[in-house]
Structure 1
Amino acid sequence: MPAERMRCAQHDVVIAAPAGVVYGLVADAAHWPRYFPSVVHVEQLEFDGRQARHRLWDIAEGRVRSWTTRLVFSSDLRRVDFWQEQSEQPLTSMHGSWTVEAIDDRRTRLTLSRTFTVARDDPESAAWAEHTLDTTTRLDLAGVRRHAQHWSDLDELVLSFEDSVRVDGPSELAYDMLYRIRDWPRLLPQVAHIDVREDPPGVQLVRAQTQEADHLPARTTEAVRICFPHAGRIVFKRTLPPGPLAAHTGEWSVLPDTTGVTVTAQHRAVLDPDLCAGTDTAQVRRQVRESLGRESEAALQLAKRHAESAVRVL
C-alpha cells in the first residue's frame, strides 16, 4: 500500500443571509449543480431523512471526476458532515463538514473543513490535487454566497421547465442522435461549431458556438454532459452559460412505452441577479424560456427524424 500524506484545510465566508437559508442550500445536495460552480451532477442513491448517499461529478481545470459520498445532516446544529467512500487518485481519502453559524439575524458564516490524504509516491499529482481543492472550494463558497444573498428573490430567479416529443421509432436511435452532439453542426443550422472531448467514455466536454438568427451575434457556451445509455439519459451542466444565466443544468431522457417513445428535454436555470438588475425579471424569464425552448425543440425534432426515418427505410 503506498505511503500517504494527510492534509487539513478550512475555508469560510460571511454571507448576508439568514443562517436557515444558507443551511438549506448546503443541505440540498440534489441542487448543488445550480449553486456550486464545480459540481456538475448529483445522483441520489440512498436517503433516510438524516443520512444520504450520493454519486457526484465535478469539474476542475477541465477534468471531470466522480465519487460516492455519504452525508449526515444535523439540522439542529446546521451542520453537514461528509466522507468519500472511494476517492480518485491522487486523493486516497477525504472527509469533512459544512458548518453554518449565525452571526446575527442577517449574517451567516459558512465554513468548509476538509481532511484528506494524498499518495506520497506522486508528489506532482498531489500538489495539483491540493491546489485544485483550494480553488474549487473558494469558487463553491462564493457560489453559495452569491445565491444565498439573493434569497428573497430566488423564486423569481429560478425557473424549471421541460419540452417533449413523441417518437414512432426505436428509442436507441433517438438516444443515439442526442448523444452524437458532435454531428449537430451539419444537421442543425443554428449550431455553427462544436468541439467535443470525451474522457472518460460517457463524459463529454463540449464547447459550442450557436446563432439563433442571422442578425444576432454567435455565442459560445461550454458544457459537461454525462451519458447513461442504458437508462436513456444524458444530464448536462453548462459551465459557461449564456447571459443572462448564472447557472443552467438539465437532462435529456428517452422513455419507451407500449405505443412509442417520449423524448424529453428538462431545463433548470438560475438567472444572474447582477445582469437582471434594473430589468423586468418576468420578461427575462420569458425570453430565457423561449430561447432554451427553441434550442431543445430543434434537438428533439432532430432525434425524432433520425429514429422515424430508420423505421420508414425498414
Structure 2
Amino acid sequence: NYFATVPAEWVELILWMEADRLGTLLEALDQANLDNQRDVVKNEKRSSYDNQPYGTAYLELFALAYPKGHPYHHPTIGSMEDLDAASLEDVRNFFATWYAPNNAVLTVVGDIDETEIAAAVERLFGGIAANPALPSHPDLTITTSLGGEIRKTVKDKVPDPRIHLAYRAPILSSPDLPALEIACQILAGGRGSRLTRRLVRQEQVAQDVGLSVLPFVGGASLVVGSATLRPGADAITLETLFLEELRGLGERGPTPTEMERARALIESEELALRSDPETIADQIGVYATLLSDPERINRDLAIYQGVDAAAVQRVAKQYLADDRVILWYEPVEVS
C-alpha cells in the first residue's frame, strides 16, 4: 500500500513517480540498496515489535489463532532470519511476479478532473507490461472455530501483567461482520462501554481495556481484546470479569440505549473518516482490491445502521464463545 498526499496541482507528478517505480524499479535494484532496505525493515521490526512493551502480542496471537502453514500464521514483516535469508534473486522475482498493472489498484481522491486523471494514468502506466501469468493466491480456507481454548503466558520486559484475547471471526464480506463490530463498540467503545464501566471504573481491576475486529478477506478475521492489570488487582479476577462481559452480551443482548450509542459512535467515526481524502482513498482501494467493490464505501453507513439488537446478540453468542486464545504477558525481573 503506497500513498502520497499532495496539492492537487502535483497529482500528475506523483502519478509519474508511481509509474516510474512500477515500471523501472528492477533496473535500479542491486545488492547495495537491497541491503540498505533490509536494515530499514529490521529497524522497523525492532521499533514496532521487538523493543515495544507488549509489542509481540499480535505476532503471538496470530501464531496461536492460525495453524502452521496458514498464511496468517506468520507476520508479514517476517523474522530477522527471514530478512537475512532474502536474496537479491528472491526480491527481484517477487517484484516481477506481483508488481504488475493487472495486479494493482490505483485510487485518486481530491479536487481533480476525472477525465484528465484518466488520460494521465493511461499515458504514464499504459506502456508498463502486464504479467499474464499471475499465480493464484494461497488457500486461506479455515473454520471460525478454534476447537477449544488455547492459552499461553509470555514473560517479558513489560511494566504490568496484561491479558490479550483473540477469537476467529467471519471474513470481511460476511454480513455478520458489521454486527460483530457493533458488539465490540458496545463492549469496549469509550467510557460508557460495558468493559470499561465494569473492569476500569467499578471493579477497578484494569487500567485500560480494548476490543476490536481485524477484518480479513479470506479464511477468518480476528476479534482481539486486551486489558492491563491494575497494580494490586488479581489477574484471575480480571480474566473472569472480562469473559463474563463477553458472555453476557451473547446471553442477554444489548439494550436499546447501547444500540443507539453504538450506532452514533460508528456514524461519527464514519463521517470523520469521510472528511479525510487520504482515508477515503485508502478505503476505496481496500474495497476495490479485496472485494472488487469500490462502491462499498458509499453503503457502509447504511449497513451499520441496518444492524439490529438481535443480530448483535447472535454474533456475540456465536463468535465470542469458549474457543479462543488467551495470552498473558507477565513482567520479568530486570537485574
Normalised-by-shorter TM-score class: under 0.3
Name whichever structure is richer in helix by fraction. 2
Structure label with greater radius of gyration = 2
- TM-score under structure 1 length normalisation: 0.27
Name whichever structure is richer in strand by fraction. 1
Higher RCO, 1 or 2 (CA under 8 Å, sep at least 6)?
2
- TM-score under structure 2 length normalisation: 0.26
